[in-house]
Structure 1
């Protein structure tokens, strides 16, 4: 498996040009010769192999210098047991960029706790970091961390010199701290807390008390595997673009993942279309009540066949007829295939039936891992067991699997990313080496937050003020919900959004429909995207395969690693930019102004390389990188 990391260190506007900067093999030095950033990082590792745990801070050997005409190269290496790491820096007297490449190879299988390059700075005046709300935040003594859903950037300053650290494709996470005038930066190729994996034991019946799952977070490396991490250092005045999280300029996203347990045709129709019987009465469209009528999307999971104490869903013609009316905004996925444990053959057969019925959803949410042994979090990942299901899921095109992780929301907030706790990791979308099928596209696991609450609490937590805060923070809510449940007894009583009428009919609560209408208006304004897993998390997953590279007069967007086209990618332009267009075209891309900076969006085709020009107020291309090169002393 190959992972690419793009790293840029950029001098801010107004500082000296690239020719004033130099590399002496130990430090990146500023115009006055001051030490800005050490070029002798350590390689910190935590491995488990053969029952032995190894935690080391590896120092690289002295640099080996290679010079050819105007180009130069520095190479070094480090080794621990069978793991061999090679670090290379490449620069030129004609370019303000230094390419950084780390190659790590493994002689035998092992588990990984973390792998990271650790950099130290010289004496600095200040250090800032782009946080999970996409704001510049001063760094402090306690390390801050951002993951793969936030552009990784740190700004360092000493006098008039400015250096920005920019992480790109393949960066699992970036940690940084600032104390006593010096910064520490950790570029993490891997960290076990970035990809949590719960582990349930199959009991075939619910235990009398809830049993917390075990954890198996450490990723795996196979014998002969090679991982790559690539980076860039850019010196001098530069204008950098930032990829935003959501398509078409949306500033926040709300993803509803509806678990199938409590759903039945009468309540489902009331949720989607306002009341039981609405479809027969022709009450369809935006002027009528209902989640679907209001134009909102979500992920609706179902059971293929009834087993256990649940209503018929895909084995009910009435239920299927309702699903046929919901439209493309509603993604139909699976909540396992039934409400009981199913072995490999049965999972395969019911997945085949799901596809034969015409459903194209690619999201799988484990149902009750304690009892459904084929759950990915239980035995579904184990290829040697009778409940193995990963191969069948891959065969039938499933890509997005619930990681059975429910984060707790911050108080009075809807943002699962929790930007006000910068030192706490909040993984939302990740891959894990134990959840994969050789030769198949990788699975993406995702976390959620459980908001299966009483109606009054749902309404109190989703006020206009709360939505405003979510938008301000560029936030994300992935909600674990049971939208069309209705119970009057037991532990689930009163946890419903629909009201019961006479003769087994239901209607959507008026205040709930008012909430849906408000969200629809915010969506129409371009504030909040209300959609399913594939639309939102699929977009974020696709962004991980896109390589961005700043060139002298254009941004290079490399889509050759994309598994699908990336639609309406949003980019934030640098200060002072008035717009952007693709190289060779005359029409400016769609955009809007927010917070003094313009944001544009464009489609990136699979297998293509595009170049994007940034324009000034007169429509002329702006230089992104400064002239000059970097001298090797």
Structure 2
């Protein structure tokens, strides 16, 4: 994300600010405040003092008071409590504290591998914050939105981000168009040329508002192997996840039946062996509430298929109310039908022209087309930001975590900046002739996704047929074809790809999830707390409101993991890592211990004699 000139000037001033220092054992730690906001001013420097056994740094000006409080938290452990209290209303681009630690570093990357840091690396939600130098380990805690690691000569710079615009990069189209350019003329539509948005990712702080976060520094025992316990993203040992979000455009119930079961023919006594349901692949299928064909209220066949796919473990989502612009009253009138099917995900339809789209005017809570308050009040949790992570290029498996360069923000999910009751997700356009889709879902592509511990969210149009489609470029991309007896059948190349996905899911390598499952999983992991105990064990605690099922925990392959306080329901040893998985109820905790060669192996072996000094 490019910073505005004002932000760039403020960051330049930060670079010249003299840092303050404290020591953990013999290791110096420097800290400075990084705030970019309007009203603008250089970030004040920390002034440090001792309060009993603690070190307290305060930086303040007319706008804010920021505090870093460092306190002993057990042998070799030191808790950092970061606070920014606003004295005035402000529009915030960035709130962060930069720590400077001695020595070369290893950091936990977006692929969940602990590796030497070769260049700047930003990690966002869904990736634990953990960095190790020879002398110190830093582990993130509650309240941090992101971290950025930068090797700087013989030092490591760590930006602990309480909030910044990159952590919720929401943007909307600047105007609602009366029609798509070129649509009436029948010309192909270049969607990439329409991707010009107004950025709305900054945070508005009220006077008196306070932002808080925590992290922990550990003084490490010299020469002892150290590796944090890594909570992985996906359940029961799955290495990656795949989500299909099928948009409602041109949905034909017969085509949808073929996509779900392999054929539109009525299922007989023979078990279903094709399509999403036949292969055990989940689908987030969006519907219009009202449409001549495919509407939940207006087409009984579509409604029956919605209930069937939901019963099979898939998800029903909303694709607005109708295919045209819907004002607040129209949206309000359609919510009951969506609520009856447990809909929690809103996927904009034609956000360039449908003014109620969240990526158009729907993000507002006022005006003719503002609907965000209606969605939140109706129990929606997820809204889609229109666009394509793949850049509107060829159909390919794009990992949400690695789609953007390592130095740049890349949150897979984030709270809507103006209303955190709603969370935002993105996807990759996956729309091509079915043979190309099948080829894109190759074993090699899925292997790469698994190696990255990644997430692929496909934006598809699989439920269309020749009777709902007229444009040549869409006809060439139909996922179904005529079959025996006038039925429609799923394209064999696409069906074979679904078979590959289903086989990987059954083998436990890959999780086939609905969007709500994937998004809720990532949010729930944000409520998982890992504490490192004085005896070298780690305690994992579910501080969220729902269970974490199949929580997967990883460590280096040469250690053996044992769990106290929860039943181990699975384990594996693969290249580079040993893993266990377990269920963790809300409020529950479990203790994990590691052994190497029969002897206890602390995750973070600490220097128990290290002291906090100026």
TM-score w.r.t. the length of structure 1 is 0.84
| Alpha-carbon distance in structure 1 between the residues aligned to 2:351 and 2:419 | 15
| Alpha-carbon distance in structure 2 between the residues aligned to 1:618 and 1:464 | 36
Equivalent residue, structure 1, for 2:15:
none
Match of 1:241 among 224, 229, 240: 229
Shift of 1:64: 2.1
Equivalent residue, structure 2, for 1:10:
none
Does 2:528 match 1:546?
A: yes
Does 2:180 match 1:180?
A: no
| Alpha-carbon distance in structure 2 between the residues aligned to 1:610 and 1:135 | 24
| Alpha-carbon distance in structure 2 between the residues aligned to 1:60 and 1:623 | 34
Equivalent residue, structure 2, for 1:304:
289
The structure-2 alpha-carbon separation of the partners of 1:127 and 1:359, relative to structure 1 and needing over 3 Å to count, comes to same
2:98 and 2:158 in contact (8 A); partners too: yes
The structure-2 alpha-carbon separation of the partners of 1:184 and 1:349, relative to structure 1 and needing over 3 Å to count, comes to same
| Alpha-carbon distance in structure 1 between the residues aligned to 2:558 and 2:363 | 51
Match of 2:346 among 352, 364, 371: 364
Match of 2:327 among 328, 332, 343: 343
Equivalent residue, structure 1, for 2:201:
217
The structure-2 alpha-carbon separation of the partners of 1:580 and 1:232, relative to structure 1 and needing over 3 Å to count, comes to same
Match of 2:51 among 55, 59, 66: 66
Does 2:120 match 1:143?
A: yes
| Alpha-carbon distance in structure 2 between the residues aligned to 1:449 and 1:513 | 20
Secondary structure at 1:515 match in 2 = helix
Shift of 1:55: 5.4
Q: Greater helix percent: which structure?
A: 2
- Which deviations, in whole Å up to 9, do the C-alpha atoms of 1:339-367 show, x marking residues without a partner? 12222222122111222xx3113111111
| Alpha-carbon distance in structure 2 between the residues aligned to 1:518 and 1:478 | 17
The structure-2 alpha-carbon separation of the partners of 1:109 and 1:219, relative to structure 1 and needing over 3 Å to count, comes to same
Does 2:144 match 1:171?
A: yes
Equivalent residue, structure 1, for 2:461:
482
1:573 and 1:614 in contact (8 A); partners too: no
The structure-2 alpha-carbon separation of the partners of 1:383 and 1:361, relative to structure 1 and needing over 3 Å to count, comes to closer
Shift of 1:449: 0.9
The structure-2 alpha-carbon separation of the partners of 1:617 and 1:217, relative to structure 1 and needing over 3 Å to count, comes to closer
- Which deviations, in whole Å up to 9, do the C-alpha atoms of 1:517-547 show, x marking residues without a partner? 1111111111111211111121011111222
2:24 and 2:219 in contact (8 A); partners too: no
1:579 and 1:589 in contact (8 A); partners too: no
Secondary structure at 1:378 match in 2 = helix
Does 2:84 match 1:96?
A: no
Shift of 1:313: 4.1
Does 2:64 match 1:83?
A: yes
Question: 5+ unaligned residues in a row in structure 1: which ranges?
Answer: 1-24, 437-441
Secondary structure at 2:427 match in 1 = strand
Match of 2:112 among 134, 140, 150: 134
| Alpha-carbon distance in structure 2 between the residues aligned to 1:483 and 1:207 | 22
- Which deviations, in whole Å up to 9, do the C-alpha atoms of 1:478-534 show, x marking residues without a partner? 111112223463442311221134886311011211111111111111111121111
1:579 and 1:591 in contact (8 A); partners too: no
Secondary structure at 2:125 match in 1 = coil
| Alpha-carbon distance in structure 2 between the residues aligned to 1:227 and 1:381 | 24
Give the alignment of 1:256-275 within 5 angstroms: 256-275=244-263
| Alpha-carbon distance in structure 2 between the residues aligned to 1:269 and 1:248 | 30
| Alpha-carbon distance in structure 1 between the residues aligned to 2:145 and 2:275 | 39
| Alpha-carbon distance in structure 2 between the residues aligned to 1:244 and 1:304 | 37
Equivalent residue, structure 1, for 2:308:
325
- Which deviations, in whole Å up to 9, do the C-alpha atoms of 1:2-61 show, x marking residues without a partner? xxxxxxxxxxxxxxxxxxxxxxx824355xx4xx442x3111111124xxxx25343101
TM-score w.r.t. the length of structure 2 is 0.86
- Which deviations, in whole Å up to 9, do the C-alpha atoms of 1:84-141 show, x marking residues without a partner? 111111116x62111110111123332211111112233x3x323222222344333x
Equivalent residue, structure 2, for 1:450:
429
1:270 and 1:508 in contact (8 A); partners too: yes
Q: Which moved more, 1:143-152 or 1:471-480?
A: 143-152
Q: Which moved more, 1:365-374 or 1:444-453?
A: 365-374
2:568 and 2:582 in contact (8 A); partners too: no
| Alpha-carbon distance in structure 1 between the residues aligned to 2:61 and 2:433 | 54
| Alpha-carbon distance in structure 2 between the residues aligned to 1:521 and 1:207 | 40
Equivalent residue, structure 2, for 1:20:
none
